[in-house]
Structure 1
Amino acid sequence: MLTIGQLAAYAGVTVRTVRHYHQIGLLPEPERDASGYRRYGASAAVALIKIRTVADAGVPLSQIGLMLQADAAALAEAVEKIDSDLREEIERLELSRKRIAQLAAGDALVLPPEVTCYLDRLREVGVSQRILEGERDGWILLAARWPEHMPAVMADKFAELEDPQLVRLYRVLSEVGDSDAADESRLEEIADLMAGLLDRAYAAGEPDLGEEWQDEMPFDLMNNLAAEADPRMPRIVELMRKRGWDGWTRLKRVD
């Protein structure tokens, strides 16, 4: 007959584990002998070894008792179910690992690769970190709403960057953004550049955005984002209105 310590050592578990198995009803707890100690026989050792083996295979403790009592068919079904659950858990953990690895990738954590490439291109043309962060947050809002459209949208954005006037606009925005003082002449230049780009696009014909782009909430959020980031935004919007354009992220032609 074995003491609890001897039983635990023989089966390769801890005494605490044996007591836990007693508490959850997985391993029967023997009566105490005349000296007040619990003694375990060979059948207890066999049962504990079975429990340890099945537990080490990843079977939840709540299912071990049923598995050990099941016939061959029921056991096979239970094993298949556990295996399926384990595969799903492995897939979930692998996805978690990929997402954790992406934490080191910065913008790539929450943005599709097309957008991160576009942000890299903006860095190359000299856009400031402040403006880049605003662009990034705006694209986070749009990509969350229309992820399926991002490849086509970013292809157009890359093409637009071939326009020196747009590159100049980004650079002036960067220079103003890095300054504490509101330079009126710079704000005027921003409004002129934007109005010029919009006038050319308007003359070429207004694009058909389709019904899926009619959701105003993402654009309202982007407007709020811009206003929160820079107190000079109302002044730029005012200057744009004088040039025949109203709004910020979704500008509209006005008389």
Structure 2
Amino acid sequence: MHEDVTARARTWLAEDPDPETREELAKLIEAGDLDELTARFSGTLQFGTAGLRGELGAGPMRMNRSVVIRAAAGLAAYLRGQGHGGGEGEGDAGGLVVIGYDARHKSADFARDTAAVMTGAGLRAALLPGPLPTPVLAFAIRHLGAVAGIMVTASHNPPRDNGYKVYLGDGSQIVPPADAEIAAAIEAVGPLSGVPRPGSGWQVLGDETIDAYLARSGAVLTEGSPRDLRTVHTALHGAQVA
């Protein structure tokens, strides 16, 4: 069993695109830390209605670029299967996927990897312009007529964690049976070398989407609503910018 765990770790190491987690995993293999390797390679993070969430680190039981690329490739395959892929004709682009992220460690990297995978799969990808709250992403999906959205965040979890929330075109988190269908598509993803990830081709949205979100949010205020309330803000483990 120990040999199997080490072999799985070496296979994972060979295709890990992130120098940081490659170094981390190489040290664990060299040290022969079988307890830690077993914890990381005893299974995979399970995709459900809340997407993925877990501690950052190397291996399939942690949140890292390899796991995110696989998740994005599976989601792209699911969306193409739902008829949202691009056609063969010139200008016949695929459906739009909006991607947001918070200020956690690796969030921006995970968002860019997702944009690259979606672009490589023939979908149109649009990144929100910076770390933003999750409701901005949910709003942008409907505002821009997207077929899906991804928010890279672990919400209120401790700072060592990160996560990957998936939304479909109605701007709400996925519900059964879509979660199981996406999970199956992720499971079917082969080696990362077979996942196209171009270095460009996606859009970075401007402030117009944020302005539209603020205008829509402000519209709920009615005449006579309190305007001078004092508020307290917390960055919630770094998931927001104060």
TM-score normalized by structure 2? 0.21
Of structures 1 and 2, the one scoring higher in RCO (CA 8 A, sep 6+) is 2
Which has more helix, going by share of residues? Answer: 1
TM-score normalized by structure 1? 0.21
Which has more strand, going by share of residues? Answer: 2
